[in-house]
Structure formats: structure tokens, C-alpha cells
């Protein structure tokens, strides 16, 4: 199982199409944050949406790197997984912080 995970994490970046989807997702989360902030409900949205903004942006950066930068892309993917896993851990360990 371990070699397979290494192959998936450190594979060549997927390219522009995949990175645009992930950057678009990050932008939509940013728009959600700005909307909640403008309405005055940012206190309920900010804690959890920041995890998604950072996680998807890191993943988008990893996919937009040149094909020769496999290690850097793998490190960015691993960091994105870590950020999103921290969100899940926070959801189970301190749900009042995430849910509100």
C-alpha cells in the first residue's frame, strides 16, 4: 500500500485543466467568505471555509507546476491533505469551533 500512495502523491502534475478547476473551487470558497463577511455572518463561516480555501489553493498550485517538479507537487499535495485532515480533526475534537 505504501508504494502506491507514494506513486499517487508524487506523480506528475495533471496540468492546466485540473489546476483551473481547483483554483475555481478556491475562488468560489473565497466568494462565499466575502459574501458572508458583507452580510455580517462571517463568524459562522470563517473557521471552516478557510480550511477549504487553503486546501484547494495548495492543490491547484501543485497541479499547475511543470512536469519536472514532481517532488514539489507531492509536497504541496501532502500539505493540502494535511490542512483538510486538520479540518476533519477539528470537526470531531472541537465541533463548536467549526460549526459555531
What pTM was computed for the model? Answer: 0.81
- Determine how many CB atoms are found less than 10 A away from the CB of residue 26: 20
pLDDT of 1 > 70? The answer is no
Question: Domain locations in the chain?
Answer: 13-99
- Overall size of the chain counted in residues: 100
pLDDT in tens, 20-67: 999 999 999 999 888 888 887 666 667 788 889 999 999 999 888 888
73-95 residue pLDDT tens:
889 989 999 999 998 998 888 87
Amino acid at each position: 500500500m505504501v508504494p502506491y500512495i507514494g506513486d499517487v502523491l508524487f506523480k506528475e502534475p495533471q496540468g492546466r485543466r485540473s489546476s483551473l478547476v481547483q483554483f475555481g473551487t478556491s475562488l468560489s470558497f473565497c466568494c462565499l467568505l466575502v459574501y458572508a463577511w458583507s452580510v455580517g455572518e462571517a463568524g459562522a463561516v470563517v473557521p471552516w471555509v478557510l480550511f477549504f480555501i487553503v486546501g484547494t489553493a495548495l492543490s491547484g498550485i501543485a497541479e499547475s507546476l511543470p512536469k519536472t517538479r514532481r517532488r514539489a507537487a507531492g509536497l504541496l499535495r501532502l500539505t493540502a491533505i494535511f490542512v483538510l485532515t486538520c479540518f476533519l480533526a477539528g470537526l470531531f475534537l472541537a465541533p463548536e469551533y467549526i460549526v459555531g
